[in-house]
Structure 1
Amino acid sequence: MSRRAPAFYNLAWRWHFYAGLFVIPFLILLSLTGIIYLFKPQLDQLMYPELLQVPVAAQQISADQQLAAVQQAYPQALIKQYMPPVTEGRSAQFVVDNAGQALNLFVDPYRGTLLGSQDAQSNLQAIARQLHGELMIGTVGDRLIELAAGWGIVLVVSGLYLWWPRGSSGAGVLWPRLSARGRLLWRDLHAVTGFWGSLFLLFMLLTGMTWTGFWGAQFAGAWNHFPAAMWDDVPQSGKLTGSLNNSSQQTVAWAVETTPLPASDPHAAHNGHAANPASSAAPQVSLQQVVDSAAEQGVQPGYSITLPKGERGVYSVALFADDPRNDATLHIDQYSGAVLADVRWKDYGLVARAVETGVVLHEGKLFGLANQLFMLLVCLLILLSAVSGLLMWWMRRPQGRFGVPPLRHDLPRWKTAIVIMCLLGAAFPLVGASLLLIWALDWLLLSRLAGLRPLASD
């Protein structure tokens, strides 16, 4: 007798199981590190008040005087970035490379005194961000996070199918049966949190995917387009603006990552500044001039200034704002002070605006504390769903066996399963490749090993 086609319900159950075992550790890690980064403003104030807060005086000293104080304290350090005070009573910050170690240096902008330093890559927030983005192992970690996020989407789709109410009662799906005990209670908690949290989890996964190194880069390249005329007659460095970001710190917004990074012209005369006869380069504008230029261009407080790297580098003024409508990215010639490029919200396309809004919601920035608390609730729902799913499997797993869910052969609807999996695999190539690999492994090995007999179905 020929075998009947596998039921979609049971195929979904099996793929939900595979996706869950792979994704759950990542979801737990991403939720915990996300909560830490979510409350960065409050945690920073709590942990480093002596570095962030200063007594207000009558007048601030110039950015150049602050820079001189840092250079005096760290004469061999390479100054990489400057963050002016966000408000009165707040310190200014410099990021420097001191003999290969990245440091955050905090300066009193009223008195010019150095308040202290912080390892730029080993503080709590930097570690949380690196774990959240690439597991602190570079490109390999980025790809694993991307793969886990893609499989998380498979998890949500298959979970919704598995737990969608099929009867008149919503008990165990829309609300938990609190009178239940043991595995049934954990099953209800897993189903209910997964059902109500599925759209929020999809939102978190999709907005997070835009920052990944493979899918995110392809997505940005396809949708982030600006008029070429914006860079007409502007010297090009051959790099992209996204090169200013790194795993421990975000400098520029996602929408501008694929834009060209201009170059300064060290030879030509600009705006009345003649080249120095004794040097191949024109005089360099001061840091304070760049601060003044940012103010003249209407850039709101909270921005950073990345200092030029090399004789063709530019000053990059970047504001990745809590409200993306205030985003600003300016590149300024280091010799003339001319604004070579100026990209704002009005220049973003529809997709870029949607992504930027989604990202700041993801990070809990757009609506202040209310946004933070709501994202905290989402993270807790994800944690509860992940932990309950893991416990449910562990409690049901036969002693010494893997406990793969059964694959019955009734109600043949396998064509729909194939369509859904193909669509997800096409949308997320890393998921598609791993899907084929695990499908082959399941068919050739796991389902044929006597030691991995499936569990009895509910």
Structure 2
Amino acid sequence: MASSPNSTAPARERAALSFYNLAWRWHFYAGLFVIPFMILLSVTGIIYLFKPQLDTWMYADLLQVPVAEQRLSADQQLAIVREAYPQAAVSKYLPPAAQDRSAQFVINQDGRELNLFVDPYSGNLLGTQDALWNLQAAARKLHGDLLIGTVGDRLIELAAGWGIVLVVSGLYLWWPRGSSGAGVLWPRLSARGRLWWRDMHAVTGFWGSALLLFMLLTGMTWTGFWGAQFAGAWNHFPAAMWDDVPKSGQLTGGLNSSSQQTVAWAVEVTPLPASDPHAAHLGHAGHSAPASSTSLLQHVVDTAAERGVQPGYSISLPKGEQGVYTVALFADDPRNDATLHIDQYSGAVLANVRWQDYGLVAKTVETGVMLHEGKLFGLANQLLMAAVCLLIIFSSVSGLVIWWKRRPAGRFGVPPLRHDLPRWKTAIGVMIALGIIFPLVGASLLLVWALDVLLGLWRRQFVASTRSA
């Protein structure tokens, strides 16, 4: 016998209510998981935002030098460093970014990575800094992988993905339905207690949602799983750029680490060329090899100047017999980005990747990353992103306060279900779409759903057995 509409309506209502309960629990549990990460990312982000000002204030004796008439060549500076640290391996050279700035070498001494600062005029060694445990490096590494490597990176990615889910679901839950005004578009300042916290959480979240999503999405591009897949799918360069270039089998992104960024995001998936040990003897058409191996680092500096690379770049020194010199400028204005790979024997430029070589997605992401890091528009950009970080902290704290004030008495449970939630089919569609876009979020969603179902079955069996007893 066919069911009548009246008999099926309660079933649909029960299904909707069941989903409401499930989504409500997930929203709050996900929020509790995300909050510590969001606060950590915001605090470390603020530290990194103001890196130029903090570095100048904290390390003026290492960074600033009096200007003189004659500057030592890069190779003379390298010789001084190697004489002072004969057992150290030199991995990177950063030429002075301005006339009154020091040069910097990155060395590995007895298992420690050090930043070594050199006066480029006098050759005096100004001092060292632990490359991994200075304020900025530690903040960046916490921001990237929680100081625990791949596991930390995946946790950060999961938290950022769930942060996006929470922003989208928060917009969905608080979107005006039937009324718009106090408590939705502006807070009821006369309110007190839980209602005040609710209004502030909802209103600031509503107006700041676009910036919150921007910060989370641009940050996701640097994650080790989703970001790597996204880069692999969208960062494509003409294969002809490397047709006649020997390749090492490695990617340029290997020069980056969670504590230090060397090359731009757009070139991370490009091949890392290999030096040809015979190139110095055979020569390269159109390239003039340096007079001797002792002048090669200065030759790389001169090549960068000839190719129009702006100051502020770094030079990664070759690793092994097939290693190359890599000139990398991850510029505040991404239109000035530059990545050059130079043969360590002949001094020939093997690859030269610039802004005009980037695809549309790469250009968009690089511009977004510079906005994210507060570098594109100077102090105004820094202050805007710092305000977003403070907004994230406030949203996290206010969400925690709301949960605490509404939790079931004496328990760490979920607040009572709201009765004015929007249609459940739209909500579940949004969740499924976000789970597909962000696979780690989707996998965790399925896991939580399975655990929730099992826990519900266990509760029902426990209640049934208790009643029968």
Q: Normalising by structure 2, report the TM-score.
A: 0.91
| Displacement of 1:370 | 0.5
Shift in alpha-carbon separation, 1:411–1:425, aligned structure 2, 3 A = closer
CA–CA distance in structure 2, aligned partners of residues 107 and 446 of structure 1 = 65
| 2:146 paired residue among 135, 141, 157 | 135
| 1:219 paired residue among 226, 230, 233 | 230
| Displacement of 1:173 | 2.0
| Displacement of 1:445 | 1.4
What is the aligned-residue RMSD (CA, Å)? Answer: 2.1
| Displacement of 1:270 | 3.9
Larger radius of gyration: 2
Shift in alpha-carbon separation, 1:78–1:169, aligned structure 2, 3 A = same
Deviation digits for residues 397-435 of structure 1 (CA, Å, limit 9, x no counterpart): 234312213457888833222221111111010000000
Residue 283 of structure 2 is aligned to residue 271 of structure 1 = yes
Q: Which runs of 5+ in 1 are unaligned?
A: 274-281, 451-458
| 1:388 paired residue among 390, 394, 398 | 398
| 2:245 paired residue among 220, 229, 234 | 234
Q: Amino acid of the residue matched to residue 171 of structure 2? A: L
Q: Amino acid of the residue matched to residue 45 of structure 1? A: T
Residue 97 of structure 2 is aligned to residue 82 of structure 1 = no
CA–CA distance in structure 2, aligned partners of residues 122 and 410 of structure 1 = 50
2:260 alignment partner in structure 1:
249
SS of the aligned residue for 1:237 comes to: strand
Q: Which one is further off, 144-153 or 2-11?
A: 2-11
| 1:425 paired residue among 432, 435, 439 | 435
CA–CA distance in structure 2, aligned partners of residues 154 and 319 of structure 1 = 34
Deviation digits for residues 197-250 of structure 1 (CA, Å, limit 9, x no counterpart): 111111011100000000000000000000000001101100000000011100
Deviation digits for residues 288-328 of structure 1 (CA, Å, limit 9, x no counterpart): 11000100011000000000001110000000000000000
CA–CA distance in structure 1, aligned partners of residues 427 and 35 of structure 2 = 22
Please give the residue correspondences for 1:38-187 in structure 2 after superposition, counting only pairs within 5 Å.
38-187=49-198
Residue 354 of structure 2 is aligned to residue 344 of structure 1 = yes
1:191 alignment partner in structure 2:
202
CA–CA distance in structure 1, aligned partners of residues 282 and 136 of structure 2 = 41
SS of the aligned residue for 1:445 comes to: helix
Shift in alpha-carbon separation, 1:410–1:118, aligned structure 2, 3 A = closer
Residue 424 of structure 2 is aligned to residue 400 of structure 1 = no
Deviation digits for residues 115-154 of structure 1 (CA, Å, limit 9, x no counterpart): 0000000000001000000000000000000000110111
Number of residue pairs aligned between Structure 1 and Structure 2: 443
2:6 alignment partner in structure 1:
none
Residue 326 of structure 2 is aligned to residue 320 of structure 1 = no
Does the Cα contact within 8 Å between 1:6 and 1:408 map onto a contact in 2?
no
Q: Which has the higher contact order (CA 8 A, sep 6+)?
A: 1
| Displacement of 1:15 | 3.0
2:43 alignment partner in structure 1:
32
CA–CA distance in structure 2, aligned partners of residues 410 and 251 of structure 1 = 50
CA–CA distance in structure 2, aligned partners of residues 248 and 438 of structure 1 = 32
Q: Which runs of 5+ in 2 are unaligned?
A: 1-9, 286-291, 461-469
Q: Normalising by structure 1, report the TM-score.
A: 0.93
Shift in alpha-carbon separation, 1:162–1:410, aligned structure 2, 3 A = closer
Residue 205 of structure 2 is aligned to residue 205 of structure 1 = no
Q: Amino acid of the residue matched to residue 43 of structure 2? A: L
CA–CA distance in structure 2, aligned partners of residues 265 and 68 of structure 1 = 24
Does the Cα contact within 8 Å between 1:285 and 1:334 map onto a contact in 2?
no
| 1:415 paired residue among 381, 400, 425 | 425
| 1:375 paired residue among 374, 379, 385 | 385
SS of the aligned residue for 2:15 comes to: coil
| Displacement of 1:272 | 7.3
CA–CA distance in structure 2, aligned partners of residues 436 and 116 of structure 1 = 53
CA–CA distance in structure 2, aligned partners of residues 374 and 11 of structure 1 = 36
| 1:292 paired residue among 298, 302, 310 | 302
| 1:443 paired residue among 434, 444, 453 | 453
| Displacement of 1:59 | 1.9
Does the Cα contact within 8 Å between 1:6 and 1:407 map onto a contact in 2?
no
Q: Which one is further off, 304-313 or 387-396?
A: 387-396
| Displacement of 1:449 | 4.7
